Structure 1
Amino acid sequence: MISTPRPGEWAELDSGTGLGLEDVAPGTFNMTIQTDRYTCREYAQREREAIWMRVWQVVGRAEDLPNTGDWKKHDIGDQSFIIVRGKDGVLRGFVNACRHRGNALCITETGNAKRGFLCQYHLWSYNLEGKLRGVLREELAGQIDKADNSLLEVPVDTFAGFIFLNPDPQAVPLREYLGEEVYRLLEPYNIDQFTTVMDVKEAIDCNWKVVMDAFEEGYHINGIHPQLLAVLNINPKTARYQFFENHSVAVAPFEVQGAGPQKQVEGILALPETFPGTVAVIPRFQELIAPYQAENGDVDFPDGVTARALLQEATRDVLTGMGLDVSGLTDNQMSDNQGWVLFPNYFMTVRAGECHVVMSAPHPDGDPHHCIWHVASYMYLPEEFRDAVRAEPIVVEEPGSYKYFEALHQDYVQMPRQQKGLRNDRLDHMSLVKEEVVIAHFHSVIDRYMNKAQVNL
């Protein structure tokens, strides 16, 4: 019987289709990045038109709007939109403006409008499909064509449980924008069934691309996250990549520090101190190593058995035992975080049972030295546990008041420091090393959108 390859097999070191660093030929991407794209207000304004008003971007989770009439407001720079769940269960998006005199319909972040939207200025009303339903003193209003004064609709769709919105009414479908391969590779994780366990937004003093760059490479781990070096074995030569038209994915095998079975096991048992998501797996891992453990606690494995493989087996056993479907994932996906970049501003690390997302967007004030960063974590849990752990969104008003976990805090401190350096006039470009090839690809997509907009002027 011939087995069907799993989507995750692309990342296998010996037989996968992913690229290694040595496979990315010199000149494939521009490794010299001009710094004015981080500091120039005029460049930021052109980005607004070329990218932010033209591409699909994540605006929330479908689970945030479970009921008829549930809505949320989403701002992109100075543009404001509403996403609402209709009576038919469909999510729709509209420009957040009454068609009468432009008054904003929704001021708060979320709410419920089961009976539709009512403009508080002159009491024009709209149903959940955006149709103009009522006009104050309609008999005296004159020639008001209700059909021609519906709310202005914008494309909205969902993938992996995330709500995507595109400000461009002529946008290609989301599936076409993301690409069939992105759908195929991500669907086995069942991210649409994950539950939000952290959701934090905060203004930060750096350009939105500084945030994206920071999470698109592991080259900074030695300098910014030295504590991880005591846990992880960082080997760029084993990393694998896939580059799509707009997006990319990279993965490096998860290896704990230490030579020999004993040190490997000790490293895995210490993982919960740095990676809390492993807490539930450790008891099963200890059961699996017990047959190879002497009375004094020393561990020795026969050929073909490794601590990594037992950690993967334990992860699959625990998730399957909770009734969760991980059958479409490879053993390596039990342990290895894949780093996904969905253009323009979505970075996600995902492995079986959990994912962590970083997003960034230009600050509404238009200053390229500021942005809004959004960090969130999601877990795959049985339905009966989801409500108990679901986190409410947090908007941090006072800089430094929210306590991120250690590695994330280190990035939080570092990114404004980079922006300060980028302000220097004589620093006109950055020079990337090969390990930063994902950053180079990301900026090649920016260049393509910016150049296309320039040609269309």
Structure 2
Amino acid sequence: MVQQAGRPGEWLDTGLSLAEIGADKFGSRISTDRYTAPGFQERERERIWARTWQVVGRVSELPKAGDWKTYRLFDQSYIIVRGRDGAIRGFVNACRHRGNLLCQGEQGNARRFVCQYHLWSYDLDGKLRGVLRENIQGPIDKDEKSLLKVSVDTFAGFVFLNPDPDAEPLADYIGAEVAELLEPYHLDEMIPVMDVREALECNWKVVMDAFQEGYHVSGVHPQLLNQIDLDPAKSRYRFFDRHSVGCAPFDVANAETFGPEQHVEGIKGLTETFPSLPMILPRFDELVAAHRDENGKLEFPDGVTARTILQQAARDTFTGMGLDVSRLTDAQMSDNQGWSLFPNFFMTIRAGECHVIRAMPHPSGDPNKCVWHVSSYMWLPGELADQFRAELIDVTEPGSHEYFLALQQDYEQMQRQQAGLRNTRLDHLSLVKEEVIVSYFHHVLDRHLAATAQS
């Protein structure tokens, strides 16, 4: 297939390989106290969580004026609301009179926010409008007593919040390069097809570490090795100011050993790994059939493989359904790219679908616990989008929710790791080269801690 020039996904052609990255480029020794010590988490709370942009939901959760949702960060509570002017804003979830919570649920719709304590009321833009028996309460500066603002903005269909009202613009925090590389996927047009939130018995960084490397696949997900070829030497990486992306080109296992039939069957067995595959398979089968002779024998000419056919099938399918994939490369039709947006957002993405992991400190402040929010998104047209759109599942009984196999394996492994990290004799972790994204994440974490400590 002929590639168009200048597509953002072509960064893979110049991305760093493991061989080009120094063995200790960002540090390989990670202290265990950052996973278990209350004091370390308190530093993170003050110097990272209170000052960085973090995803709090999707724009689609707030479609109408007055739609609101709450976001909890440790013991802090915030309101995110769509105003009558269409803008999405954020406020501290507390009445300016006596501090009562304004919104106690997860989400809703309101014409105004009314405090149920003394009936003070606020417009959707946060301005104080009504005071009970105002004529006898003495002078009240309604501008000064309006709701306390927090920074809120949107990117790629996600709503971001920064508790700091004077935060740098989200566009600067994300960075122009990151925005350019993600734009062709049309993330803002995808809808959730899985959405689960659950408290875990591990530190939030254990979750981030787990999804930022593929080194654990052989030990935790051995069944994937029967389907997918993982060659670390082919992986490519790119590092930004705070964020990073890595990609290991996809191919079916034993592609160099097996013949065309086995390659085709290998791809058909990946429906759990690639949720959009069932939509693509009809076109995939058509393209495969074109390479069978009159006796049904399958032979691929030079330059054609099951991988390239899958890429063409994906491009044809999505284009036919109405998704513009013209600025995605052929590799982006089949290969998941793993994106880490600091501090707590990890996403694998390919044409038409993405999987997002978010990890938050536990509201209790216990560093040995966290809350993870796992979501899958797909691009689906019209009626299919309505049919497959998933609602949030809030798991309240630990272990009661059954995740798909690979995710279930991670769920169990991360909590086992935290149990090991609590051993006091273990004072550090030793990262290897394949864990370079993990290393960079902790490098950025340390940089933020140091910078804010000096400010």
Letter in structure 1 aligned against 2:234: T
User: In structure 1, what is the Cα distance between the partners aligned to 2:293 and 2:226?
Assistant: 25
Question: Which among 221, 224, 227 is matched to residue 225 of structure 1?
Answer: 221
Deviation at 1:453, TM superposition (A): 2.8
Q: Equivalent residue for 2:77?
A: 80
1:324 and 2:306 are equivalent in the alignment: no
Paired position in structure 2 for 1:103? 100
* Structure-to-structure mapping, 1:205-244, within 5 angstroms: 205-244=201-240
* 1:288 equivalenced with 2:284 (yes/no): no
- The residue that corresponds to 1:6 in the other structure is 7
Pairwise CA distance, 1:449: 1.0
Write the letter of the residue equivalent to 1:347.
F
Query: What does residue range 132-281 of structure 1 map to in structure 2 within 5 Å?
Result: 132-258=128-254, 259=257, 260-281=259-280
* In 2: Cα distance, 1:202 partner to 1:273 partner: 21
Report SS of the residue matched to 1:271: coil
Moved over 6 A (4+): none
Taking the aligned partners of 1:297 and 1:412, their CA distance within structure 2 comes to 44
Give how far 1:129 is off.
0.4
Find the aligned partners of 1:296 and 1:74 in 2 and give their Cα distance.
61
Query: 2:410 matched to which residue of 1?
Result: 411
Q: One-letter code of the match for 2:152?
A: V
Q: Is the 8 A contact 1:195 1:390 kept in 2?
A: yes
Read off the aligned partner of 2:181 and give its amino acid letter: L
In the TM superposition, what whole-angstrom CA distance separates every residue of 1:243-292 from its partner, at most 9, and x where no partner exists?
A: 01100000011110132322211211222254332111111111101122
Q: Secondary structure at the match of 1:147?
A: coil
Which secondary structure state, in structure 2, belongs to the residue aligned with residue 292 of structure 1?
Answer: coil
Task: Report the TM-score, using the length of structure 1 for normalisation.
Answer: 0.97
Counterpart of 1:69 in structure 2 is 66
Moved more, 261-270 or 426-435: 261-270
Equivalences for residues 305-320 of structure 1 within 5 A = 305-320=304-319
Q: What is the aligned counterpart of 1:46 among 40, 43, 46?
A: 43
SS in 1 for 2:143: helix
Q: Can you give the 5+ residue segments of structure 2 that lack an aligned partner in the other structure?
A: none
Could you say what secondary structure the match of 2:276 adopts?
helix
Number of equivalenced pairs:
450
Q: Residue in 2 aligned with 1:359?
A: 358
Q: 1:212-245, CA deviations, whole angstroms, 9 ceiling, x for partnerless residues?
A: 0000000000000011011001100000000011
Deviations 1:301-343 (A, max 9, x none): 1111111100000000110110111111001100000000000
> What SS class does the counterpart of residue 369 from structure 1 fall into?
coil
What's the % identity of the aligned pairs?
A: 62
Name the SS for the 2:452 alignment partner. helix
Aligned to 2:118: 122
Q: CA deviation at 1:297?
A: 4.5
Consecutive unaligned residues in structure 1, runs of 5 or more: none
Report the 3-state secondary structure (helix = DSSP H, G, I; strand = E; otherwise coil) of the residue aligned with 1:359. Answer: strand
Distance 1:96 1:318 in 2: 45
User: Is the 8 Å Cα contact of residues 239 and 251 (structure 1) preserved in structure 2?
Assistant: yes
- d(CA) in 2 for partners of 1:83, 1:32: 39
Letter in structure 2 aligned against 1:49: E
Equivalent residue number for residue 380 of structure 2: 381
Q: 1:253 to 1:122 in 2, by over 3 A?
A: same
Seen in structure 2, the aligned counterparts of structure 1 residues 393 and 416 have a Cα distance that, compared at 3 Å, is same
The answer to whether the Cα contact below 8 Å between 1:257 and 1:263 also exists between their aligned partners in 2 is no
